[in-house]
Amino acid sequence: MKRILTLSCLLLSLTATLAADSGHKIKIILIGDSTTQDRTGWGLGFKQFVDTNRAECINLAMGGRSSMSFMKEGRWTNALALKGDYYLIQFGHNNEPGKPGRSTDMPTFVSDMTKYVDDALAIGAKPILVTPLTRRQWDKENPGKIKSSLEPYAEEVRKIAQAKHVPLVDLHARSIELCEKLGREKCYEFSPTKIVDGTNTTYDGTHLQGIGRVLFAQLVVNELRKVAPELSPVLLAEPRDKNPKLAEDRFDAIVSNDVSANYTNLQAAINAAPDNGSAPFRISIKPGIYQGQFIIPKEKHNIQFLGEDATNTIITYDLNVRETNATSIPRFLGIGMIVLGDDFRAEKITFQNTSGDHGQALALRIDGDRAILKNCRMLGWQDTLRVDNGRDYFTNCYIEGRVDFIYGDATAVFDRCEIHSKNGGHVTAANTPKDHPFGFVFLNCKLTGDANPWNTNSVTPMADLGRPWRPYASVTYLNCELGAHIKPEGWNNWRNPTNELTARYAEYKSTGPGANPDQRFKWTKQLTQEEAAKITLDSVLGGNDHWNPTK
């Protein structure tokens, strides 16, 4: 048997060498859980050792998957369809008890791992089993030693490799040796942090970051040279980068519904930000729906929500101000996202309240100063967006609602935004203090509306540009395109003629079918070119600190 295996290895080595020399790239496919992924495991580090002129490495590992769930989701079928030459297969972490939909008993784990081997062999590929990367579980009774809960899974993988005569990378044993050599404190250097019980920060003893990606990949490479020597020609002696970076490394926290993320709860990521931080705390929010009420406390400054696509990255809430549940914040009923801290920034995020057209239901409330929202969407009906106290800048955003869906006492600029009225109503309800020269300023915006009424028995829905929540409301539209849904008279006095003496409502060069300067109420204003020229980002938002949101 040994002679046959030796001959087989020689033939595979010759085949690999000939394939590389002939210009055919050897295809190595990584299969596993988050500890094999690029971001949270050794996958990215392994790629640093692959000679890309002679081989390619495709990492199909997926966080939160067990040997069973990876198959059930069709991921293994898709992996086989790629016709890889080698499949490195590592599972065990998510087979452990306590993981609904993923945990398995040991016989199922053995059956799964055996199937991975058989299926790979059936397509002419070479499976290489990898025992699970150790959890850095330090033994309380024997300091300096690791007592890994994954040893039973590693032992079963060793048995399968021996029975099936396939190569084995004993990463479990090698990673324990490395961690014990480095010691607990050194291991912290490549251990991500995570939140426990919503508030306490601790080290993640399972996943990898930074230099850890290459350190543990080196162990895999060293083992491969021994058990699959035919791969040696395509494995570099040194990594191209000893500390490879991912684009995601620039974030301080990553929130995802995938269990492999360092945060699956948005509030926990917010809580992880330092109090009164002077540097941006960047939170990457992966595509998904995040249901609930979230708050950025007043002491949390410089928090940034950074999405990838506003259409599928959604922070949503479903209660209005008259509805509560066990998690409602009493002071902020009916509000999905509450921002009390200064210097908040959001990009490519949707904030929505789905309670419906039956009362005040806020998607977003901002009380802090110097907030910036770029390429975001705010969706609701009544009171969709409330901005109070500070200065806010919205650019290339989409905001929709029906009644007073942009309101508050803040000074805010809406730059090149689409403002959509659902079934008529009132666009704004400003509460501008008397001593503030500006309230809401809309620059080069497009106002759109529903063409048909939601109630088929109603007339065409019409909206006004705003009504004064308080007497000195200030709202200005400059160079905006107004749809046919805007009433000819343009504005509303909120059933109080005395508001006409104090409200500061103005337009400059409105266009579109809703632009009717001659039919506007006489108590509103059409600005001259000279007056309009004085309304700039600096004059509106600059303030004593000369804030410029575009820099």
Which residues are marked as active site?
A: 383, 404
Written as six digits, the tokens of 243 are 């500390």
CB 368 within 8 A of CB 298: yes
For residues 211 and 215, what is the distance between their CA atoms, to the nearest angstrom? 6
CA dihedral of 394, 399, 405, 406, whole degrees rounded to 10: 10
Written as six digits, the tokens of 170 are 């004993």
CA 247 to chain centre: 13
For residues 113 and 111, what is the distance between their CA atoms, to the nearest angstrom? 6
Helix (H) or strand (E) holding 429: strand 418-430
Region at 547 (left for phi over 0; alpha for psi -120 to 50; beta for the rest):
beta
For residues 345 and 363, what is the distance between their CA atoms, to the nearest angstrom? 16
In 3D, which of 338, 467, 360, 350 has the Cα closest to residue 398?
350
Coil, helix or strand at residue 22: coil
Q: Are strands 200-203 and 193-196 parallel, antiparallel or unpaired?
A: antiparallel
∠ CA(441), CA(443), CA(448), 5° rounding? 100
Distances (CA, A) of 284 to 254, 279, 550: 5, 16, 21
Biggest CA–CA distance in the chain, Å, is 101
Interhelix angle 151-164/106-122, rounded to 10 degrees, is 40
Written as six digits, the tokens of 260 are 């492999």
Give me the phi and psi of 353, to 5 degrees please.
-125, 120
